[in-house]
């Protein structure tokens, strides 16, 4: 009767962490929830959710997440398992690995880009050609 299982009082759905403009973080961030960055991060970011880099936001390091919207500056390697949305004022330098990519006109996109879905069929086709 009194052995009710303890339920977690926090869920990650619908919650967003936020770093405001004028804040600089040196180090790595790991988050299960969504994240909005309007400040500066020098380090790596890992999330099971979405990262939004606002117009004043800046990241120098690696990002690994499910979805991303970039409106500010990013330099490093970004790996997005679903959709990377690059806004018109974004500046991206480095390496990009995505499943889906959207780049608005006006964005500075100076990066190597690998599409996850496109890599597997090409690899299989090359293996078949080599075998035959």
Phi-psi region of 2 (alpha: psi -120 to 50; beta: other; left: phi over 0): alpha
The reply to whether 98 falls in a domain is yes
The reply to whether 5 falls in a domain is no
The span from the CA of 123 to the CA of 132, in Å, is 14
The reply to whether 24 falls in a domain is yes
Query: Which residues constitute the domain of residue 65?
Result: 16-131
- 16-50 pLDDT tens trace: 899 999 999 999 999 999 999 999 999 999 999 99
The reply to whether 77 falls in a domain is yes
The reply to whether 124 falls in a domain is yes
Output the pLDDT for position 15: 76
Output the pLDDT for position 80: 96
The reply to whether 75 falls in a domain is yes
pTM: 0.78
Provide the number of structural domains found in the chain.
Answer: 1
The reply to whether 85 falls in a domain is yes
Within 10 angstroms of residue 40's Cβ, the number of other Cβ atoms is 19
The reply to whether 8 falls in a domain is no
């Amino acid at each position: 009767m009194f052995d009710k299982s303890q339920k977690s009082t926090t869920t990650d759905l619908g919650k967003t962490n936020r770093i405001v403009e004028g804040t600089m973080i040196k180090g790595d961030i790991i988050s299960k929830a969504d994240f909005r960055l309007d400040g500066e991060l020098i380090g790596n970011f890992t999330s099971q959710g979405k990262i939004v880099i606002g117009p004043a936001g800046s990241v120098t390091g690696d990002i690994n997440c499910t979805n991303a919207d970039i409106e500010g500056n990013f330099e490093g390697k970004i790996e997005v398992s679903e959709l990377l949305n690059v806004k018109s004022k974004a500046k991206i330098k480095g390496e990009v690995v995505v499943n889906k990519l959207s780049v608005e006109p006006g964005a500075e996109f100076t990066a190597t880009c690998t599409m996850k879905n496109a890599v597997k069929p090409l690899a299989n086709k090359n293996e078949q050609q080599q075998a035959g």
